[in-house]
Amino acid sequence: DIVMTQSPDSLAVSLGERATINCKSSQSVLYSSNSKHYLAWYQQKPGQPPKLLIYWASTRESGVPDRFSGSGSGTDFTLTISSLQAEDVAVYYCQQYYTTLMWTFGQGTKVEIK
Amino acid sequence: EVQLVESGGGLVQPGESLRLSCAASGFTFSSYAIIWVRQAPGKGLEWVSSISGSVDTTYYADSVKGRFTIFRDNSKNTVYLQMNSLRAEDTAVYYCVKASGAWFWGQGTLVTVSS
């Protein structure tokens, strides 16, 4: 099984400042045949299902503000919120979909306002 | 418009059974894989089970293997999760997810296993 580990577990950032969340997979999620990283990022607010932000490690889902960006390769990935807004307070999860239909998620990172 | 509506959750005692349903609309249901993901109260997301679109291949997390069964009825555009021998640790919100093509999550249904 591919284990996904996020860091930190929580972080507090001032409004307008940058927030950075890291995600490490226990093995590469790069599919060599198409050179794509099978890595996604979600945002979840209380009482709501997760909302897809990023897929293929760096492709922003339609409608997601451009202050959200994903980067990384191999086994190390990052979600960056370039200028934190109040509505970004949430829990963020990374997820691998390299193993077909057997997804695994990171433990989540809680983002709060400092 | 894609819709996924979960139902069948509720309060059951340990050892009992429950069947969850995920009713789909807005897409060609039989062609798409469906995944169940659960979230225990205050905890993270856990993949539970999946069923492929065309050939009905099924997959299970080790935590539910042998107790849960996923199956689909394409005539009803519905995927089911039959949950037997339920345990307290199965208490969670269960989400179904359209997991191929454009992903889409339902709103979830709460399962509580408690005596």
Cβ contact, residue pair A95, B105, below 8 Å: no
Average pLDDT over residues A94-102: 94
Nearest neighbour of A49 by CB, restricted to B57, B99, B108 = B108
Nearest neighbour of B47 by CB, restricted to A52, A55, A102 = A102
Q: Identify the residue among A103, A105, A109, A110 best suited for mutation to test binding to B, counting B beta carbons within 10 A and taking the highest.
A: A103
The torsion of the CA quartet A21, A25, A26, A31, rounded to 10 degrees, works out to -160
Q: What is the DSSP letter of A27?
A: S
Average pLDDT over residues A2-11: 97
Tens digits of pLDDT across chain B (115 residues): 999 999 999 999 999 999 999 999 999 898 899 999 999 999 999 999 999 987 779 999 999 999 999 999 999 999 999 999 999 999 999 999 999 888 999 999 999 999 9
Residues B40 and B92 sit within 8 Å (Cβ to Cβ): yes
